[in-house]
Structure 1
Amino acid sequence: MTTWMTDIIQATDSGATFKARNDISKFSEQLGLRRLPIFRYDATLESLDSLHARIDGITAGVKAGDTVYYQFPTYNGVQFEKTFVQHMHIRQVNLVAVLHDVEFLRFPSTTYFDEITYLNNFDVVIVHNYRMETVLKEYGLKSNAVNLNIFDYSVNVQIPDRKKIEKKIIVAGSLNKSDYLKNWSYKIPIIAYGKQPNYSISSQVDYRGVLSPNQIVQKLPSGFGLVWDVNTNQYENSEEYAKYNNPHKVSLYIASGLPVIVKRGTAIATMVQTYNLGIIIDSLDELEEKIHQLTERQLDGIMIQVNHFKMLLTTGFFTKHAIIETEFQIAMGYPERSLFYE
């Protein structure tokens, strides 16, 4: 029996969509999973007969009893998502969803696909964290769940440990979710990377344009990586969604050796606090005070943790751990249990 991981094939971009999926494919391959390539395209323009033929071609090597890890969503359209699952059920394979985003939580007013009913077609669903698992179960998820906890981040070259961190702010990613940059008035220096947003960035922000995921992890300057998405017209529910998701930019910052600054109450804040990976604040107004209050000893302690955690992220620890736990659930039919010895 063979275990497969879908591998979404698309043009490389500067965002998390391509990078996160590609890294999961890469790290799962290191565990012996085989890649199942799926080209990203608009399946809404395709006839049903053509779609069936396409999926038959994609999954020609998949046999009864195999396990298929399906990275969801593919963004190939609802019909593609549903038809793929139907084909796998006909093949009698074990089916695992690897969640990258949950659209009805992310865009509640414009998402009409019943993702909960869809996800209940999977034997196991790999979710971002315990909070996401909890809210999905409140909405009716019945499938077993495994927590990823944080996205890994592969690198092409070894990133040296940072010994010291400058007291400045780094922002990277989708700047359309960071429109506080248009009125940035804090004295602490700030550097931003990403596609030009649909607003004018404040002249107080050192905007450095776009770098690819493999470039930016090597070139981020010393500072604190800020994770602070806000609601905008384009991203209506960013602040609520942050209570459940793992922002990929956290993984970027840590892989680059930067401590992070996150908002209290977000899902990722639990991990930052547990492993001492940075600072947790309630408001951007606290930024300067919290950073300047850090003693050298406190900052050294954070950097030791960040450098250790960086090694885990860049070697795929969390992806591999989630897959191993999932394999246990498929084999045994229930989650792994702690063993206690008397």
Structure 2
Amino acid sequence: MKYLINEYVEDFGNAGSKARRDISSILGRNGTVVINLPYDSKKSHFSREVTTWKTLRTFWKKDTSRDEIIVQFPMRLNKLDQLGVLNMLKGFHSKVIIIHDLESLRRNDISFVHSEVNILNRFDVVISHSDNMTKYLRQHGLTTQVRELYLFDYLANSRENDFGGVPTMKDEYKVFFAGNLEKSLFLERLPYSLNQMLYVYGLNATPKMTEDLSHFMGFVNSDELPNKLKNGWGLVWDGTSSQKPTGLLGKYLAYNAPHKTSLYIAANLPVIVWSGAANAQFIVDNYLGVSVDSLDQVQEKLKSLTADQRSKIVKSVAKFSAKLRSGNMILSVLRKED
């Protein structure tokens, strides 16, 4: 039997919790017992604490010596509840942890890495985003088995015929960007050629963005957004510069697998990624898009593709889109035997 610890994570409309929710849904649909840690904002902190520990204690009493437990990381729990979960792990035969973020990388603060690796080493298998993330963890003391995911799954509300067919890409030079725009200040400094091609969706646009962007489309819920992205490319970029991803978020692209990439591919869009991104080689090798050194190169890169290259990309994106929308990526990596 497989079990998944499912924490309550508030959704603020920016898709920040979607990857966690999708994994819980996918595993729950495929025979995993989802242990929902209760959360009720109307109750006192003490009352919530007691309810959480009662939930965990029921599993301390069970014989789980042949079972597998799956946890998502970082745990969004207070230290006492984290201690309860870590105690609960001891009774399970197999322990798997799926990384969503590493704060030591995301914040560029090495003081976090010791506690992160200490928790990860309590598990038998760590699901990492990429080779680069795995190397970073190994350099800081990770000793357990690691499997790389490269792309997160992306469940979406869609009508029967919205996905699954081969996209036509009739508008080959239309580009989409979606995200929390206050973290994407490069949108204030776009090359003119890209600005004319780019359709931007998201929350928290700056006044300069709303004024300067040629196609600012506003906010659409993350579950519905794939229905809006049709016949074009998806841009994965971060930071303040259009020349190279900069700042904490830009540098993080060298290690993580952005959920934005999965959004685009789930919507049958090939992607445009930074050449230094952690999954750039995976994207290129699997014909899921193209890589560029700077945003100045986007228009010329797309124009330079041959008909055969475009055809390979379109077919591969359609195949991976079906995988992401069915939860195949996380299911495959969990089934994998090293």
TM category, shorter: 0.7 to 0.9
| Counterparts of 2:207 and 2:74, CA distance in 1 | 29
State the 1:213 CA deviation.
1.6
Match of 1:186 among 192, 199, 203: 192
Q: Which residue of 1 aligns with 2:69?
A: 68
State the AA in 1 paired with 2:21. N
Give the TM-score of the pair, scaled to structure 1.
0.84
Q: Is the counterpart of residue 301 in structure 1 residue 302 in structure 2?
A: no
The equivalences for 1:19-168 within 5 A come to 19-39=18-38, 46=45, 51=49, 54-58=52-56, 60-61=58-59, 63=62, 64-65=64-65, 66-89=67-90, 91-92=91-92, 94-109=94-109, 112=112, 114-157=115-158, 158=160, 159-160=162-163, 161=165, 162-166=167-171, 167-168=173-174
Contact 1:171 1:225 in 2 (8 A): yes
Q: Is the counterpart of residue 225 in structure 1 residue 252 in structure 2?
A: no
Q: Which residue of 2 aligns with 1:196?
A: 204
Secondary structure, aligned partner of 1:321: helix
| Counterparts of 2:181 and 2:125, CA distance in 1 | 34
State the 1:143 CA deviation.
1.7
The equivalences for 1:166-181 within 5 A come to 166=171, 167-181=173-187
Q: Which residue of 1 aligns with 2:276?
A: 265
Residues 30-87 of structure 1 deviation map (CA, whole Å, 9 limit, x = unaligned): 3311111135689xx956x974652332462463313210111232344433442123
Contact 2:191 2:296 in 1 (8 A): no
Percent identity for Structure 1 against Structure 2 = 28
| Counterparts of 2:304 and 2:330, CA distance in 1 | 35
State the 1:275 CA deviation.
0.7
Aligned residues: 320
Q: Is the counterpart of residue 242 in structure 1 residue 242 in structure 2?
A: no
Contact 1:103 1:111 in 2 (8 A): no
Match of 1:313 among 293, 317, 324: 324
State the 1:209 CA deviation.
1.6
State the 1:14 CA deviation.
3.2
| Counterparts of 1:315 and 1:50, CA distance in 2 | 34
Cα distance change on mapping 1:192 and 1:78 into 2, 3 Å:
farther
| CA RMSD, 1 decimal | 2.7
| Counterparts of 2:279 and 2:291, CA distance in 1 | 10
Gaps of 5+ in 2: none
Q: Which residue of 1 aligns with 2:225?
A: 216
Cα distance change on mapping 1:217 and 1:111 into 2, 3 Å:
farther
Q: Which runs of 4+ in 1 moved over 6 A?
A: none
Secondary structure, aligned partner of 2:192: coil
Contact 1:73 1:81 in 2 (8 A): no
Contact 1:231 1:237 in 2 (8 A): no
| Counterparts of 1:59 and 1:192, CA distance in 2 | 47
